[in-house]
Amino acid sequence: MDTTQRTDQQRSADRRRRELLEAADRVVLRDGPQASMNAIAAEAGITKPILYRHFGDKGGLYAALAKRHTDALLDSLRAALDAPADRRERVESTLDTYLAAIEARPQVYRFLMHPAEGGHAGDQGFDVGKHSAPLLRRMGEELATVIEERLDLGPGSQQLARVWGHGIVGMMHAAGDWWLGERPCSRAELVRSLADLLWGRLAAAGDKVGGPGF
């Protein structure tokens, strides 16, 4: 098989994988954590064995969907962090971007973070912690990189940036999960309250000389 044939086959496989992920998205938007492999296969117009051939099992499909949605969310968070505004406004915009994303697609959020709520026959053995933890760790590392690049934290800055990155992501996740379930206040009120919590040493740290600022 020549290079052109391999490239064409890879393009076709990538296109088919995107189509299957889009079908999975439609089912997840409709069914949330109860989305089953059977329903996704039916939505895609294929049999479940063909779906397994592409993703292996529900864990493999979950990982692919998580990457798809995490990539999009991280792009939005980076845009909020890079917006031309002062630090407090950018912090609030970043928090709001995350909360707006889970509010706009709560079924997708619940599928990614609480898939065990489904419990369909044939989908057992799916370990939510095994798959959701890497998603949160990735967000924490991304935020840690931004913090280290933009703030002058003095000695031990790399470790402190990672502590802050993972801590802020953990805070956003825990507070957002609680808020999405109970809706005890408006999104704007939650954003202000979380920003107030962060507004201690973060506000006092100086920007790195010559850097883009935070």
Q: What is the pLDDT of residues 151-207, one digit of tens each?
A: 888 899 999 999 999 999 999 999 999 999 999 999 999 999 999 998 886 777 777
pLDDT band, very low/low/confident/very high, at 121 (cuts 50, 70, 90): very low
User: Domain 66-119+127-202 class?
Assistant: mainly alpha
Report CA 177 to chain centroid distance, whole Å.
13
Amino acid type, 84: P
8-56, superfamily in CATH?
Homeodomain-like (1.10.10.60)
Query: What integer pLDDT is reported at residue 99 of this predicted model?
Result: 96
CB neighbours of residue 77 within 10 Å: 22
- Taking the model in full, what pTM does it have? 0.79
Name the token pair of 115.
């898939």
- Mean pLDDT, the chain, integer: 85
